[in-house]
Amino acid sequence: MSLEATRQELIGLIPRLRRFALALTGTHADGDDLVQDALERALTRLHQWRPGTRLDSWVYRIAQNIWRDRLRRARFRGLHTPIADAADVMGADGRVDAEAALRLSEALSALAQLPWEQRIVIALVQVEGFTYPEAAEILEVPEGTITSRLVRGRAALERLMAGAEKDL
């Protein structure tokens, strides 16, 4: 694949990466920072990506690595993970779809309360729609680890999102 084609593919991944980063960080602003860092890191290491393997898995792996590093630094600097902000769910056009906004902010604040390992797996599988083997490859862990984190994450989310579920 040419460099130009790879760049185009990276650009095509931006919307999905933003959604993933939003699920991890809880806000669009922090999510976009994370996407920016992930893209920068991916660009400086494109030579390390093996053509023929999935570019998306590789970039997701980079993104979650950066996010984990950030969490360490945040703890290190005494900062706290930002809590999802309801105002943050406003659409790009400035209008707020109240129901969608509520659902998203509820999901974000529930996700924010999960331990990071579970949050990453939930974001990969349930938000991004990766299969278990794909998520295992991205995180470089056995598939059984994915499943056990999902089980725990789902149980926690079930308690946290009880309100959202009733609405469905």
Residues that bind another protein (CB under 8 A): 7, 10-11, 14-16, 18-19, 22-23, 32, 35-37, 39-41, 43-45, 48-50, 58, 61-62, 65-66, 68-70, 72-73, 76-77, 91-92, 97, 100, 103-104, 106-107, 122, 125-127, 129, 131-132, 140, 144, 147-148, 150-151, 154, 157-158, 161, 164-165, 168
To the nearest whole angstrom, how small is the minimum distance from the Cβ of residue 56 to another protein?
Answer: 14
To the nearest whole angstrom, how small is the minimum distance from the Cβ of residue 115 to another protein?
Answer: 16
- Is the Cβ of residue 117 or residue 132 nearer to another protein in the bound state? 132
To the nearest whole angstrom, how small is the minimum distance from the Cβ of residue 129 to another protein?
Answer: 8
To the nearest whole angstrom, how small is the minimum distance from the Cβ of residue 87 to another protein?
Answer: 15
* CA 9/CA 96 separation, integer angstroms: 31
State the burial class of residue 31 (Cβ atoms within 10 Å of its Cβ: 0-12, 13-18, 19+): buried
* CA 137/CA 121 separation, integer angstroms: 12
Identity of the amino acid at 66 = I
* CA 138/CA 64 separation, integer angstroms: 9
State the burial class of residue 84 (Cβ atoms within 10 Å of its Cβ: 0-12, 13-18, 19+): buried
- Is the Cβ of residue 23 or residue 112 nearer to another protein in the bound state? 23
